[in-house]
Structure 1
């Protein structure tokens, strides 16, 4: 475990610059990533993930949106909904993020990169980039998908207003078994009610 921690701390140290860079490019995305990381780790620990899996989850959740560095400003910062062509470009951020993480060539980066690549896959196989389904999606990716969805709806974006906790939970329940893992959702529901990452807007 000591060696695993050394690998994790090394990866975390050398990727910190990525977080700073993302903050300068898009502060809202960086703050969102920090909240998603905290919530994802809470879920992972409750699920009993191994020490190595928690480390990969921590890194991947922190940088799940790092690929947005490679998305043009006119799309990333557009103050309205994206059209189909723009959305196709935006969806590339998960693959770009994978490549950025892999480019560090650090031990442990491969597992984190895989999780980043698949954090927009849907449980029924309608997500991107590879249309994976069910347990074929890495569990850390499935966890991030839930945390990411919750926080995205809990914050105001240029194209939508923040939703209340009850509104968000209703949407997440509707998406369970479609977008979200039906086995992980009960865990999330239990954790979020007392979590510091729960939106104050009831």
Structure 2
């Protein structure tokens, strides 16, 4: 990435404003979740030696990491009971749909953002989706979103789950470290979240 690319991502952010509005109308809770994820991702990224362009791409990716859920039926997204295998397969299409939506903007910087969105559900041990990438094969932006997304998702009540306490969430994340999450990113997050205004009780 060259030094002018953060300006490209600024333009991309402006062009995706309509998507943000659409996301909010479709699911206000998901929109609120996405903005919290963005704030935590930025704070976490600043603890790594990421370039300004990488952070700029992460900002857009964090806001739109779940934009692909616009293509998933509400009966699946809002189902209170456990998803069956077919429903789970449909839900797991949302990162691919998200990539396609962002790529359709056809703007410089969209491809890097879309790649992060596609891979934010890859697992560090290679058992995630959609491409079963492993370790450093997963873009660092996607690995950051993975940890932050999991934390925030467990912090708030949704139709399919009750909110959890901070200590319980951190226990789960620590257990998931090395298989689901990058253990180094988790450790930095664990330190960062202690003083974050977005830490839940």
Scaled by the length of structure 1, what TM-score is found? 0.96
Residue of structure 1 equivalent to 2:128: 127
Residue of structure 2 equivalent to 1:180: 181
Residue of structure 1 equivalent to 2:40: 39
Q: Return the alpha-carbon distance in structure 2 between the equivalents of residues 94 and 29 of structure 1.
A: 14
Residue of structure 1 equivalent to 2:90: 89
CA RMSD between the two structures: 1.1
Q: Return the alpha-carbon distance in structure 2 between the equivalents of residues 20 and 78 of structure 1.
A: 24
Give CA deviations for 1:83-121 in whole Å, capped at 9, x if unaligned. 211111000000000000000001100000000000000
Gaps of 5+ in 1: none
Contact 2:78 2:160 in 1 (8 A): no
Q: Return the alpha-carbon distance in structure 2 between the equivalents of residues 2 and 132 of structure 1.
A: 28
Contact 2:119 2:138 in 1 (8 A): yes
Residue of structure 2 equivalent to 1:65: 66
Residue of structure 1 equivalent to 2:14: 13
Q: Return the alpha-carbon distance in structure 2 between the equivalents of residues 5 and 114 of structure 1.
A: 17
Tell whether 2:28 aligns with 1:27.
Answer: yes
Give CA deviations for 1:139-160 in whole Å, capped at 9, x if unaligned. 0000000000000011111111
Shift of 1:6: 2.4
Contact 2:3 2:53 in 1 (8 A): no
Residue of structure 2 equivalent to 1:157: 158
List structure 1 runs of 4+ shifted beyond 4 angstroms: none
Contact 2:80 2:161 in 1 (8 A): no
Q: Return the alpha-carbon distance in structure 2 between the equivalents of residues 169 and 74 of structure 1.
A: 30
Residue of structure 2 equivalent to 1:189: 190
Q: Return the alpha-carbon distance in structure 1 between the equivalents of residues 88 and 23 of structure 2.
A: 20
Residue of structure 2 equivalent to 1:139: 140
Q: Return the alpha-carbon distance in structure 1 between the equivalents of residues 115 and 99 of structure 2.
A: 7
Shift of 1:2: 7.0
- What count of residue pairs does the alignment treat as equivalent? 200
